[in-house]
Amino acid sequence: MALFSATIGWLEQGLRYAALRQQAIADNIANADTPGYKAKDVRFQAELDRALALEAKRTDPRHFPFRNEQNGKIVVTTNASISYNHNGNSVDIDQEMSKLAGNQIYYNALIERLNGKFNTLKTVIKGGK
């Protein structure tokens, strides 16, 4: 019998993603004026697709199959072909600030959900009081 559901593990993975993305965005903002710096981004979708492929089950053969990616992880990427500034820098400060705000909202939502899970466990332990 598991004390914690798989949801807590996925919330933890989501928090790791948000923390890594926060670091990548902070690096991008800090290097907005550095010549030749290429903006970083963090990808999490491949991991989510892999999880769905492992845990989801087709209940009818007519349903669309779930994608199966075995190498899905949180990945930091750099696109070297884009340059927004004349000095070869690819950081768009407005886009980075937008990503920063979105990532903060995502992180806060995960924390709220995790707190809800732990409050539910706390209520059960106390016998519903």
Model confidence pLDDT, tens digit, residues 9-27: 888 888 999 999 999 999 9
Contacts of 57 (CB under 8 A, 6+ apart): none
Three-state secondary structure call for residue 127: coil
pLDDT computed for residue 69 by the predictor: 38
| Range 53-74 average pLDDT | 60
pLDDT computed for residue 50 by the predictor: 60
pLDDT-derived band of residue 47, with 50, 70 and 90 as boundaries? low
CA angle 51, 15, 109 (to 5 degrees): 100
Alpha-carbon distances of 49 from 25, 72, 94, 112, 116, rounded to whole Å:
24, 8, 29, 24, 25
pLDDT-derived band of residue 82, with 50, 70 and 90 as boundaries? confident
**Percent of the chain beyond pLDDT 70?**
78
| Range 78-89 average pLDDT | 77
pTM, full prediction: 0.71
- Of 96, 95, 90, 100, give the one whose Cα is nearest residue 34: 90
| Range 70-98 average pLDDT | 78
